[in-house]
A and B are shown apart, each in its own frame.
Chain A
């Protein structure tokens, strides 16, 4: 879902940069209060894992592919603000080094796949945690959180395209949501699989957010 330059207008791109910069600045403040010994290597390996996993496009229907975003996973493990920081690192390197996502669209991409996806993933997981025991919450809640994060991020992207005058909202919204509802299933399966692997090996890492 990386927006290249040209898809969004200068005002939309600029707004994205300003909003993303403000959120990242706040995320730095919010995260440094919570940073402990366990979180430091986890932030490093999560950023590395998300980058590598994002390279692995999986095919979905109709000659289309999708890949993990990873924001829901990061936000579930480390909270939404740390999730935003991790996604900002990943998206910035993808943009600056690998030319995936436009330079001027970086703010909008951080907004969609970092800010929106982290918050949606985090809160859907938190709400679903109220239902059922740890196993169900981790698998179903984590999967649902991941799916929602992709679909809501695609809605944000459709709105940006429409406001930019690139494509009417009535066209962009159903098309973006339709294809990302499918890609989101992949996100949900991968996220639930990683969470269940953590639950089996290092269940304490699932509790970092509670403290």
Chain B
């Protein structure tokens, strides 16, 4: 099988998922504003939880759980994006 250009991008995305435990855990822009301006407590809990906070539940090692969550999401989105594009082309 010939190596296609986009395999490289997919490998890069999976590599980024491996780096996910290194991400800054500081609040993001909106969270910072919500904390500073005093409306953080208006946030409601999620209705249901599957992989909350990008940490796969039931995995002891937090870095490992984060990496697994990242890989699951990356693979899912590749499948969804590719499948959707295929579907759109078929529909034409």
Which A positions have Cβ atoms within 8 angstroms of B? 1-7, 28, 31-33, 35-36, 39-53, 55-59, 62-67, 85-86, 89-90, 93-94, 96-100, 102-103, 154, 157, 161, 166-167, 171-172, 175-176, 179-180, 183, 201-202
**Contact (Cβ within 8 A) A176 B74:** no
Task: Point out the residue from A56, A59, A86 that lies within 8 Å of B26, measured CB to CB.
Answer: A59
Task: Kindly provide the distance from the CB of B48 to the nearest chain A CB, expressed in whole angstroms.
Answer: 8
4 cross-chain pairs, A with B, having the tightest CB-CB distances, nearest first: A44-B82, A47-B81, A6-B44, A65-B24
- With both beta carbons as reference points, the residue of chain A lying nearest to B29 in the complex is identified as A179
- Name A68's closest neighbour in chain B (CB-CB): B16
> Using a Cβ–Cβ cut-off of 8 Å, how many residues does chain B contribute to the interface with A?
60
Asked whether B59 is an interface residue with its Cβ less than 8 Å from the other chain, the reply is no
B64 within 8 A of partner (CB): no
Q: What residues of chain B have their CB less than 8 Å away from a CB belonging to chain A?
A: 4-6, 9-10, 12-14, 16-17, 19-20, 22-30, 32-34, 36-37, 39, 42-44, 46-47, 49-54, 66, 69-70, 72-86, 88-89, 91-92
A45 & B89 in contact (Cβ 8 Å cutoff)? no
CB of A178, distance to nearest CB on chain B (Å): 9
With a CB–CB cut-off of 8 A, which chain A residues contact B26?
Answer: 57, 59, 63-65
Inter-chain contacts of A157 with B (CB < 8 A): 30
- Which chain B residues border A180 with CB–CB below 8 Å? 29
Q: In the complex, what residues of B have CB within 8 A of residue A93's CB?
A: 73, 76-77, 80
Among A31, A56, A66, A89, point to the contact of B88 (Cβ < 8 A).
A31
> What distance in Å separates the Cβ of A98 from its nearest Cβ neighbour in chain B?
5
Q: Are A64 and B28 in contact (CB under 8 A)?
A: yes
A7 touches B34 (CB 8 A): yes
- Chain B positions within 8 Å of A99 at CB level: 46, 49-53
Residue of A nearest to B46 (CB): A99
